[in-house]
Amino acid sequence: MIESFSIEYNKRGDLDPLKYRLDKYSPKNTLIQVFSGKPDLADIEEVLEDITTTYPGVPVIGTTTAGEIMDGNVSDGKIIISFLLFNDTAVQSIFINQNDDLALAGRTIGEAFASLDPRAVIVFGCGIKDKRTIDGSPLIAELQRKLPQTVLAGAQAGDNGAALSTFVFTESGITGNGVAAAALSGEHLIVNNQYDLAWIPIGKSLTITKAKGRRVYTIDNQTPYDLYKHYLGQAVADGLPLSAVDFPLMIERDGITMAVHAMGVNDDGSFDYIHSFHTGEQLKFGFCHAGLLALSAQETYEHLSEQPVEAAFMYSCVSRKWILGEDIDVEVCPVGQIAPLSGFFAYGEYFSLPSGKSFFFSQTMTVLGLAEQDRSIPPNIENGQFCPDRTESRQLKTLKALHRLVETSAREIEEINTELFQLAQKDSLTGLYNRRYLDAQFALEIKRAGRTRKPLSVILMDVDYFKLYNDTYGHVAGDNCLRGMALEVKKILKRPVDLFARYGGEEFICVLPETDGEGALHIAEQIQKSIQNLSFIHSESKVSDFVTVSMGIITARRVDNSMTQDFFIKACDAKLYEAKAAGRNCVMSGEL
């Protein structure tokens, strides 16, 4: 069983009363984590010296923060020390004093820990370099490659939003340009890793039109600066990049939706982002949906409760804390109901899935649950009611309502845009595809048939004596007739690949991929019979008492480069002319 507790450290002597608790455990079965809201080197040196003197030989990993978490409560500018005391789990720390080559740092840590076969590795990396947030992807990717079965957790150091310098440390030293990590090894250790984003995409899709690594030069052929100014306003543009933290770019990678924020603005209007992009990638702006946070907190609680949890650590992005303010306990409090909880707010989060996929997140909340006993934890929360004494602030209620308004409006706009797009492809009268869509798809089907060497058939049909029908019964009746015919033919063409379009006036066309002449003739006869069965009375027709159609069919057994859309249409039209010359209400077919 794991014993876990935290204290607020203020001065020398604060650690002494705890010695008796740690004396019961071997140093190799103990881990001390330090979350320092005081980013001054002198403060860190003092607390680290006190820890190593009071508890010699105990592994330590520490970091500066942008906010601290202890017992489910959030603070700023404090030093929180968390103690993990294991019965069976062995702990080993490592200190890397460089981050010029993060892949090398990850490889070094992985090779050092490989023989330990760790169940989990907690990683703290420095978060700022040259006044820019560090992209921890190479570090975490290489570490995961070396330790594919190990759960990775942790985050990058913060400095309360100053973006000047950050520190990480172990019992071996302190660095402003490196990594601290601890391996947890033991056959009885149960590890549960969870994450929550709660940022959702909004607005239209945007395309990266020029990028090189983490530097993006143009999005939708305009500089990121101009893009942010256009969508978020001059005030946001003037405060970039920090002012845009509430509206990161959303992108999906490896099946995971990720939020990516800007780290710096360059003189040419390009932006440096925390992740790399590729030209052609599509993304959207995102925003933190406050209404989803409570739901996500419940889901996180439920997922964590699926396995035993005796100690929990939260490594969360500082942007969540900035946006929610005092309401940040909406997501912190529920996890604190499961087990003793500590952690910090960071400049990027390290995370791995059970599948072995590793991620460097931003804007995300991650939680690491640990236990040594495989036993169920009685739930402390009933019916999903977290922190019952808490009353939602007016700000959070307003945010939730605002975000619901934005989400609903965005969804409705998306539906309208989808409908408009469909209308641009569809004939307004019949609902069939129009000539514009036909031209594009017909050309694709000809190319596909040429590649696959499969037959391609085309049916061109014309309503017999339709002008007389309109003159006799009126244009409303004529429109109803065409609409009814379209519905009937759509019932016959059941394959998704079959293309049925209104060609113009009373003419229709069917493009039938992988259909030979016999198959096309069979379909045409079905269409002919189906239209006759509609029984649209046509007293002025010279071939029937009801509306009928004449059809011309052309089948290409093998399509070659000389066969164009016009080529097929002219050949079909010739067969249609033969059908009309033969008395109408009939089908004429031919093969190329």
114 DSSP assignment: G
Three-state secondary structure call for residue 480: helix
Residue type, 448: R
Q: Which token pair is 398?
A: 């307003």
Contact between residue 134 and residue 156 where contact means Cβ atoms under 8 Å apart: yes
Contact between residue 32 and residue 4 where contact means Cβ atoms under 8 Å apart: no
CA distance 472 to 449: 43
CA distance 119 to 107: 17
What backbone phi and psi angles, to 5 degrees, belong to 342? Answer: -145, 175
CA distance 241 to 238: 9
CA distance 558 to 569: 16
Q: Kindly state the helix (H) or strand (E) to which residue 45 belongs, with its residue range.
A: helix 41-54
Contact between residue 443 and residue 567 where contact means Cβ atoms under 8 Å apart: no
- Dihedral of the alpha carbons of 471, 476, 479, 480, in degrees to the nearest 10: -120
- Dihedral of the alpha carbons of 366, 372, 376, 382, in degrees to the nearest 10: -40
Beta bridge partners of 439: none
Other beta carbons within 10 Å of 114:
13
Q: Which residues contact 191 (CB under 8 A, 6 or more apart)?
A: 119, 120, 151, 184, 368, 369, 370
CA distance 438 to 179: 59
Complete DSSP assignment for 250-268 = EEEETTEEEEE-EEEE-TT
End-to-end CA distance of the chain: 80
CA distance 219 to 33: 41
Note if the bond before 241 is cis, omega within 30 degrees: yes
> Is 68 labeled as catalytic in the residue annotation?
no
Complete DSSP assignment for 178-205 = SEEEEEEE-TT-EEEEEEE--EEEEEEE
Active site residue: 45, 142, 506, 540, which one?
506
Active site residues: 506
